[in-house]
Amino acid sequence: MISRRSVLATPLALAACDRFAQAGTAPPATEATPLKDVIPCPFGATANSAQLEDAAFVTAMLRHVDQVTPEWELKMERTLQAGFGTDFSAADRVVDWARDQDLAVHGHTLIWYSQGAEVFHDDLDRRTFTREFDRYVRETAGRYCGRMRGWDVVNEPVAEDGEGLRDCHWSRVLGVEGYIVRAFELAREADPDAVLFLNEYNLENIPAKGATFLKLVEKLKGMGAPIDGIGTQSHLNIEIPAGRISGFIRDAASLGLPIHVSELDFPRTRDGGGMPDLRTPAQKTAQQVARVGELAEAYFALPERQRYGLTTWGLRDPDSWLLRPEHKNWADDHPLLLDVEGRANPAYQAVVDAATGRAGS
């Protein structure tokens, strides 16, 4: 069972976590040792089909990763067509490329509250809704049977504030937990050997959400859902208190399941709120180094069987969705381990130190 305590660390743990912040300003960026050669678990990053045309991107990926997550090609916004048709051409390209390079692939995502409502709308009769839900999961997971190391079967089922589960088109027809159990059962049937994950964000940032998510995993397992692993996206708020990240990792580990750090990034820019940001660049860098270092040390301390992989959402800064004009447009941010030239950003060394046992030395 999960500890019902708050996921805050002891004073000793806080001191250990904050040693990463002592770096202050960072040395100039240097050529980065391949991350896949240093990190004691599979290291992954996202790729989309357009990026495969970029020789510099491909070179960086082949240098650093041994696992690929399709960034958007397997989301319903790309695969699901009007009338329940499907188009997997973009997903096929990313999966085929990765497999041709002897890279593992992690599938993201089968069912997400944010997508599919245009086709699975509220006026659809229950019989058609259920039939097409089943067909979509079976078809998508089955298409790549034996080619995916794992799947994010259901993405982001917990309410934003952690108070209960989301109301969405899936839950309104199939039940708040029912659609999740059903999706996992269908995915297991379609791709029996893949590791099946429940994936969520803000688990480290918001303790209530982390606790609700872990209770949900326990409940779903008790209902017979074949959940094999926990996916924590780790879009980190670098201003959260020291110890909160390691506290969540410790609580998650108590379930005994593999854990995937599935979408790691760590922007320096504050997302809204209207308050002036008076932090200096050096202070922002120190916060990044501290929080990423804390995550890496806590994750690499897990038993090997629980370290499914560490995946960053983008490999180099310009690959990040946060820098794209159609998303956050934070063009001067540095939310990933590598810069535009593929050199080490400050947080890179915190990950390497945690991986090699040099953290705090």
Are 201 and 263 in contact by the 8 Å Cβ rule? The answer is yes
- What pLDDT score was predicted for residue 5? 33
CA triple 109-115-118, angle to 5 deg: 140
According to the model, what pLDDT value does residue 356 have?
A: 93
Integer-rounded Cα radius of gyration of the chain: 20
> Mean pLDDT by 10-residue block, N- to C-terminus, for the chain (361 residues)?
37 43 52 95 98 97 98 98 97 98 98 97 96 98 98 98 97 98 98 98 98 98 98 98 98 98 97 84 97 98 98 98 92 95 96 86 50
Q: What is the pTM of this model?
A: 0.91
Query: How far does CA 350 lie from the centroid of its chain?
Result: 19
Pick from 4, 3, 16, 5: nearest CA to 246: 16
Note the pLDDT of residue 271.
86
Two tokens at 224? 């017979």
Query: Angle at CA 111, nearest 5°, toward 106 and 112?
Result: 100
Tokens coding 258? 């593999």
CATH assignment of 11-23+30-269+278-356, among 2.40.110.10, 3.40.50.150, 3.20.20.80, 3.40.50.720: 3.20.20.80
Distance CA(180)–CA(189), nearest Å, equals 14
Strands (E) across 183-273 are located at 195-200, 229-232, 259-264
Task: Give the per-residue pLDDT at 20.
Answer: 47
Contact call for residues 215 and 202 (beta carbons, < 8 A): no
Q: What is the DSSP string of 101-157?
A: TT-EEEEEEEEETTS-TTTS-TTS-HHHHHHHHHHHHHHHHHHTTTT-SEEEEEE--
Domain parsing of the chain, residue ranges: 11-23+30-269+278-356
Which pLDDT belongs to residue 274? 72
Distance CA 165, CA 248 (A): 19
CB within 8 Å of 53: residues ≥ 6 apart? none
| Per-residue pLDDT, 76 | 98
pLDDT at 30: 67
Neighbours of 134 (CB within 10 A): 15
Longest dimension (CA), the chain: 62
pLDDT in tens, 138-185: 999 999 999 999 999 999 999 999 999 999 999 999 999 999 999 999
